[in-house]
Chain A
């Protein structure tokens, strides 16, 4: 049922993500992707006006190296490890999406409605993408972490704050997916 070039099974994927986190701990670091957004702000000079960004970004070079690798990994997986058979959704999901004028994946990871060049010429889609990014950037820094820092690293270390944050992630996600997405699409 599973193939190497199709969707990887959840039990292998989940194990490998846990292994990535443990490898970074073994390297003396911690797994957290949203911190890189702060580092990028600092590199762009945000530390001149705002104390939160006053730190030596070179200490975070290792995490930027992880980001660089992740970008390469995304490229490699799409171009060399995919046969277009992935993203087999629940037929009910596809039906719901059609009602919102979002096309079925047909092996694509993201809908053209949102991510294609044509979508970028549509002010509404641009606004959605930008506003979504704004929520992600502000929310992760306010909560002190994202899926990697709280859901994976924090829960693995049995941290109560991370559990609260993850419950928050799901409250926000459920509200968006059930009540707001049908209104905007």
Chain B
């Protein structure tokens, strides 16, 4: 039972991995091209994903839809704040354009056979750990 419960999440991840690979959103080249505004491709992907998401989320909220277990769907709001979003966002953006991958693609590229990504993953784990260590000393 527990096993079958997890299988559906593996399937969602499987589709996600295929889509991001075939969309080339995991490609260092595409990220470079995007930040130089030399292709509409990546902007189109993010734009359509957000429009699909807005329509779906509004449909859920307006119709009080239930989830798979029959429970009401609650989408929690993000915490208020400014500094953390700007500074954290900029730091992530620097890393995103440098190695061309955000956290999802790090894992997808492991499967795709890009060995160098293991080093990126190691750095990302250390970065996450360092945030945990300094969290209370940082402005949020």
Contact A139 B50 (CB under 8 A): no
A33, A65, A137, A174 — most chain B CB neighbours (10 Å): A137
- Chain B residues within an 8 Å CB radius of A69: 9-17
A7, A23, A66 — most chain B CB neighbours (10 Å): A66
Contact A41 B132 (CB under 8 A): yes
Chain A, range 34-65, C-beta contacts under 8 Å to B: 34, 36-38, 40-41, 44, 46, 50-53, 61-63, 65
Chain A, range 147-174, C-beta contacts under 8 Å to B: 147-148, 150-162, 164-174
Contact B97 A74 (CB under 8 A): no
Number of A-B contacts (CB under 8 A): 508
Complex Cα gap A10–B46 (Å):
8
From the candidates A17, A22, A89, A129, name the one contacting B116 in the complex (CB within 8 A).
Answer: A129
- Shortest Cβ gap from B88 to chain A (Å): 3
- Chain A residues within an 8 Å CB radius of B96: 136, 147, 169, 172-173, 176
Contact B57 A133 (CB under 8 A): no
Complex Cα gap A135–B127 (Å):
6
From the candidates A15, A76, A89, name the one contacting B39 in the complex (CB within 8 A).
Answer: A89
Contact A128 B115 (CB under 8 A): no
Q: Is the interface of A mostly helix, strand, loop or mixed?
A: helix
- Contact mask B22-37 → A, CB, 8 Å, 1/0? 1111111111111110
Contact A26 B99 (CB under 8 A): no
Q: Is the interface of B mostly helix, strand, loop or mixed?
A: helix
- Shortest Cβ gap from A44 to chain B (Å): 8
A53, A62, A72, A134 — most chain B CB neighbours (10 Å): A134
- Does A110 interact with chain B (Cβ within 8 Å)? yes
Q: Please give me the residue from chain B that is nearest to A90 by CB atom.
A: B38
- 16 further A-B pairs in the complex, CB-CB below 8 A; given A25-B73, A173-B97: A14-B44, A22-B52, A25-B57, A25-B67, A27-B9, A40-B128, A110-B109, A133-B122, A134-B126, A136-B101, A141-B132, A147-B103, A156-B49, A161-B78, A161-B81, A167-B86
Could you tell me which B residues sit within 8 Å of A by CB distance?
5-36, 38-54, 56-57, 60, 67-69, 71, 73, 75-82, 84-104, 106-117, 119-133, 135, 138
Interchain residue pairs A-B with the least CB separation, the first 10: A168-B89, A73-B17, A172-B93, A133-B123, A69-B13, A137-B127, A156-B53, A14-B48, A18-B52, A143-B88
Identify 7 residue pairs between A and B in the complex whose beta-carbon atoms are under 8 Å apart, listed by A's number.
A17-B20, A78-B112, A86-B24, A109-B28, A132-B99, A137-B125, A144-B78
